[in-house]
């Protein structure tokens, strides 16, 4: 077997092992999981998630997922907790301890301190009979038969199982809270995903110039308007209403077909019934219209009157595309 084949075989084996372990998690769920979700949902405090080593890294990720989906959460490193950081734990906080073995020295020191503070404790562990498992109020069983590591040592399959269990918690809490796409946008205002959920057409078109001409505007003035406003297009407007559109493409096609252009007006070269969109529509709707009709600009309306232009480049700049 050559090197590439060997690499691919190892990769496939790793994926298959971890996939099997994840599938097995659903069979390990008990009422403890539902009780843990309800405990967190009804809690007036935060979720404190702690662990050590690779479990600490997983804890950080679960904290981030919970925070971004409406459940306040804080990471507390197990080693730091027994050297002062335990002070961040408040009376109403729920603590989640993550540990594959449930028997690490730091966990054995930390768990009694949590119990003494009367905080409810949830364990995500692969060993129900461990020190952590026996002390926890609720156990989320993240048992795995073996690590993907060929020596069965490096945390691989076990950390994947912990992560999936954390995701399951977060999604259950999300649904209980009725967490909507608007809520998601509130917590993700700076990201492309959030922008797809809150950014409106007017947020983009208001940053652009507003090219427009009348029906009787001369060809020269049309070209000047398109050039100066730098959007590759101008609306043809009458009584504040859109009656047509002229694009760079319309000008090129007109020049290739006409022998004389001296007396041409905007009405002679415009396209009728152009695609348009309301200024309060979502930016992502503008994207879909552009893709559907293979165009780069949309004319924007406010209460049926011409309000500006939104360009494909605006969507790209904001990460909508």
Is 100 found in the same domain as 31? yes
Indicate whether 124 and 31 sit together in one domain: yes
pLDDT band at 320 (very low <50, low <70, confident <90, very high): confident
Q: Are residues 134 and 215 both part of a single domain?
A: no
Which range is most confident: 120-129, 195-204, 282-291?
120-129
Contact 78, 110 (CB under 8 A): yes
CA dist., res. 254 & res. 264, Å (int): 10
In a shared domain, residues 163 and 64: yes
Asked, for residue 275, whether it belongs to a domain, the answer is yes
What's the confidence (pLDDT) of residue 103? 95
Residues 229 and 149 placed together within one structural domain of the fold: no
- Is residue 259 in some structural domain? yes
User: What's the domain range around 231?
Assistant: 198-317
| 239 domain-assigned | yes
Radius of gyration of the chain from its Cα atoms, rounded to whole angstroms: 30
More confident residue, 321 or 75: 75
Q: Are residues 168 and 72 in the same domain?
A: yes
Same-domain check for residues 87 and 206: no
CATH classification at residue 38: 3.40.50.10490
For β-strands 271-272 and 241-247, DSSP reports them as antiparallel
Residues 144 and 21 both lie in one domain: yes
Whether 43 and 173 map to the same domain: the answer is: yes
Q: Are 192 and 284 in contact (CB under 8 A)?
A: no
32-67: pLDDT as tens digits: 999 999 999 999 999 999 999 999 999 999 999 999
Residue 192 has a pLDDT of: 56
3-state SS, residue 19: helix
For residue 305, name the pLDDT band (cuts at 50, 70, 90): very high
Tokens 């997983």 belong to: 58
Q: What percent of the chain has pLDDT over 90?
A: 74
Q: Are 107 and 60 in contact (CB under 8 A)?
A: no
What's the whole-number mean pLDDT along residues 68-96?
92
Q: Average pLDDT, stretch 104-128?
A: 94
pLDDT at 10 over 70: yes
Across the chain, the runs of DSSP E, i.e. the strands, are 47-51, 73-77, 94-99, 121-125, 138-141, 212-213, 233-238, 241-247, 271-272, 276-278, 297-302, 305-311
- Residue 238: pLDDT band by 50, 70, 90 thresholds? very high
Instruction: Please report, for the domain that includes residue 206, its CATH number.
Output: 3.10.580.10
- Region 254-258: mean pLDDT is 75
Residue 302: its pLDDT value, please? Answer: 95
Residue 231: inside a domain, yes or no? yes
Q: Is 52 domain-assigned?
A: yes
**pLDDT surpasses 90 at 99:** yes
pLDDT of 209 above 90: yes
Residue in 260, 230, 236 with CA at minimum distance from that of residue 248: 230
Summarised one tens digit per residue, pLDDT across range 153-186 is: 889 999 999 999 999 999 999 999 987 766 666 6
**Tally of CB atoms within 10 A around 1:** 8
Residue 174: what pLDDT?
92
Residues 6+ apart with CB under 8 A from 126: 100, 101, 102, 141, 142, 143, 144, 158, 161
Torsion over CA: 150, 151, 156, 158 (sign):
positive
- The pLDDT assigned to 1 comes to 63
CA–CA distances in Å: residue 148 to residues 19, 153, 307: 10, 9, 59
Residue 44 shares a structural domain with residue 123: yes
Choose the final residue of a domain: 149, 179, 209: 179
- What's the structural domain count of the chain? 2
Q: Average pLDDT for residues 287-299, to the nearest whole number?
A: 92
Residue that has been written with the tokens 């047509």 in this structure: 244
Task: List the beta bridge partners of residue 309.
Answer: 299
User: Is residue 301 predicted with pLDDT exceeding 80?
Assistant: yes
| 272 three-state secondary structure | strand
- The answer on whether 313 is annotated among ligand-binding residues is no
Q: Do 12 and 111 belong to one domain?
A: yes
Specify if 188 maps to a domain.
no
Please report where in the chains the tokens 């605006």 appear, as a residue: 314
Whether the per-residue pLDDT at 253 is higher than 60: the answer is yes
Using a pLDDT cut of 70, give the percent of the chain over it.
Answer: 93
| Per-residue burial over 215-227, b = 16 or more CB atoms within 10 Å of its CB, e = otherwise | eebebeebeebbe
Give the three-state DSSP class for 64: helix
Q: Measured in whole angstroms, how far is the alpha carbon of residue 22 from the centre of its chain?
A: 23
77 assigned to some structural domain: yes
Q: What one-character DSSP code corresponds to residue 239?
A: T
Please tell me whether residues 157 and 280 are part of one structural domain: no
- Asked if residue 184 is part of any domain, the answer here is no
């Amino acid at each position: 077997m050559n090197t590439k084949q060997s690499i691919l075989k190892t990769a496939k084996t790793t994926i298959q092992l971890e996939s099997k372990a994840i599938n097995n998690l659903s069979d390990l769920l008990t009422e403890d999981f539902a009780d843990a979700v309800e405990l967190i949902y009804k809690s007036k405090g935060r979720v404190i998630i702690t662990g050590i080593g690779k479990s600490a890294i997983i804890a950080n990720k679960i904290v981030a997922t919970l925070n971004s989906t409406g459940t306040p959460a804080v990471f507390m490193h197990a080693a730091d907790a027994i050297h002062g950081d335990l002070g961040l734990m408040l009376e109403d906080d729920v603590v989640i301890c993550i540990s594959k073995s449930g028997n690490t020295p730091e966990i054995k020191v930390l768990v009694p301190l949590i119990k003494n503070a009367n905080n409810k404790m949830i364990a995500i562990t692969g060993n129900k009979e461990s020190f952590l498992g026996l002390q926890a109020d609720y156990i989320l069983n993240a048992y795995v038969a073996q690590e993907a590591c060929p020596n069965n040592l490096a945390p691989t399959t076990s950390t994947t199982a912990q992560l999936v269990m954390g995701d399951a918690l977060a999604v259950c809490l999300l649904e209980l809270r009725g967490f909507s796409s608007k809520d998601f946008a509130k917590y993700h205002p700076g990201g492309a995903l959030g922008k797809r959920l809150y950014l409106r057409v007017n947020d983009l078109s208001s940053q652009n110039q507003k090219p427009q001409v009348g029906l009787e505007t001369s060809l020269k003035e049309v070209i000047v308007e398109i050039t100066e406003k730098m959007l590759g297009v101008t609306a043809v407007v009458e009584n504040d209403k859109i009656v047509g559109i002229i694009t760079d493409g319309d000008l090129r096609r007109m020049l290739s077909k006409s022998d004389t252009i001296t007396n041409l007006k905007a009405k002679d070269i415009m396209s009728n019934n152009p695609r348009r969109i309301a200024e309060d529509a979502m930016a992502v709707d503008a994207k879909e219209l552009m893709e559907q009709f293979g165009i780069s600009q949309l004319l924007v309306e406010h209460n049926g009157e011409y309000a500006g232009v939104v360009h494909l480049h605006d969507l790209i700049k904001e990460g909508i595309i």
